[in-house]
């Protein structure tokens, strides 16, 4: 997976490649899909959610420019795989998930991986972020937003905070990078992608 799907494309950051190699992706998919865990495609994990394809996980992580010791907000815990990748890179992860069932299973998987001390998961509306723990060095949104959620963006740290998310309609989005420069925000668009919708006060209603 790492050599053929990531390094062979445009994933160049060694810390990302190492984390993707170290985290056992098959432990984050339903038992019936273990054999497909390392294929470069999204897989259903229940509750209407998916685990993103490995390339997208790696690309979003690379765009975030993760460094050990950073505080990262993840919106959409899902299976817990992205949280595990970030924690393996030495960050402190604050992850918000709407589904109690997915959050509970993600906690169990992360605990078994041995990085639970670096990951906090709570059930709630991720579209409004996690204000009590702000500011964050980076924010990663793993669901499709109709626009950049204002309250999440404001929770970025002022000195170069970065936010990566898919923005668009329910059918197609573009991967988007937000960089905070003091009171200014710079926006860069990347590849087309397709995620499940982000639901909440500052996202899709249903």
**Phi, psi at residue 123, to the nearest 5°?**
-95, 130
Q: Which residue has the tokens 């899902």?
A: 78
Q: Which are the contacts of 177, defined by CB distance < 8 A and separation ≥ 6?
A: 63, 162, 163, 164, 187, 188, 189, 190
Q: Which residue has the tokens 């010791």?
A: 69
Question: Strands across the sheet with 173-181, in order?
Answer: 119-123, 92-97, 71-75, 138-141, 159-168, 173-181, 184-193
CA distance linking residue 143 with residue 193, whole number of Å: 11
Find the catalytic residue in 15, 52, 79, 83.
Answer: 52
**Six token digits for residue 5:** 């799907």
CA distance linking residue 127 with residue 148, whole number of Å: 9
Active site residue 52: yes
Asked whether the beta carbons of 140 and 161 are under 8 A apart, the reply is no
Q: What are the C-alpha distances in Å from 46 to residues 31, 43, 67, 131, 193?
A: 12, 9, 31, 28, 20
- Known catalytic residues are 52
């Amino acid at each position: 997976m790492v050599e053929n799907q990531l390094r062979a494309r445009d994933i160049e950051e060694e810390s990302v490649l190492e984390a993707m190699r170290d985290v056992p992706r098959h432990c984050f998919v339903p038992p019936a899909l273990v054999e497909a865990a390392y294929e470069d495609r999204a897989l259903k994990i229940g509750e209407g959610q998916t685990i993103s394809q490995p390339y997208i996980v790696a690309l979003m992580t690379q765009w975030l420019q993760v460094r050990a010791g950073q505080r990262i907000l993840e919106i959409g815990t899902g299976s817990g795989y992205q949280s595990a990748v970030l924690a393996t890179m030495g960050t402190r992860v604050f992850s918000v998930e709407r589904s109690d069932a997915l959050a509970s299973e993600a906690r169990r998987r992360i605990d078994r991986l041995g990085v639970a001390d670096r990951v906090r998961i709570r059930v709630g509306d991720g579209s409004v972020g996690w204000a009590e723990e702000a500011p964050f060095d980076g924010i990663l949104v793993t669901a499709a937003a109709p626009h950049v959620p204002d309250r999440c963006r404001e929770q970025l740290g002022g000195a170069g905070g970065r936010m990566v998310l898919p923005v668009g309609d329910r059918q197609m989005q573009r991967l988007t990078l937000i960089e905070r420069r003091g009171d200014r925000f710079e926006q860069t668009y990347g590849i087309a992608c397709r995620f499940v919708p982000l639901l909440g006060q500052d996202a899709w209603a249903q």
